[in-house]
Amino acid sequence: MRKALMVTVEVDPERVESRLGAGEMLCPSCPDGVLVRWGFARARRVVGVAEPVRPRRSRCRTCAVTHVLLPVTLLLRRAYLAELIWAAVAAKAAGAGHRLIGARLGIPASTVRGWLRVITGRAEAVRHWFIAVAVTAGVDVSIPKATGSGCGDVLGAVGAAREAIAARFGERSVIGAVTSARAAVACSGARLLAPGWPPVPMSGHPTPVGPDVAAADGSSSRG
């Protein structure tokens, strides 16, 4: 059985439909494939979004693999807007604890603690990943120094990647306004908090792939 894949796309659904209809969205699974409309994924509530989110599904004309098109404002299997999750990471980097962060954002402290544990547990690998993105996208990139804080190091690396992407493609690229949260989503293929990310090759260091594609094997939401 072929797995359904997930592709990160811009927030504007009309723009997504336009690109699908014009054959402008390429398949990440095969070199010559083009994605076409293939129904919708199930609707789900996302904290921070007024209406239920129902991502578009697509299918490759060539390899027949289906793909869920997830807006760049969301992380895979997370029921909270990416900007809220990123605000928690930034607050932790500034020295706040998970209970205070949860109270400020109106989010259960246990949920915030879970996010922060994932980030701090893979901070070094994530830092390497986003610095590599910054170096690939930018010119004369200034590498942020290690802060001694896992969330602080991730914050600095994603900030460097955001600046490099904005300098190369403009402050409003295909993903819309280039914020740190959107850069974190796009450059991780929405898998920033997903198990097994970032992938680590034989060399022992994560190697960035295309910033808008990641594989997923389900569509359930978690905190």
Cα 33–Cα 165–Cα 122 angle in degrees, nearest 5 = 85
Give the separation between CA 169 and CA 36, rounded to whole angstroms.
Answer: 26
| Least trusted range by pLDDT, from 36-50, 94-108, 199-213 | 199-213
- Position 194 pLDDT exceeds 70: yes
**Residue 216 pLDDT:** 32
Distances (CA, A) of 31 to 34, 184, 200: 9, 26, 23
Q: What local confidence, expressed as pLDDT, does residue 208 receive?
A: 59
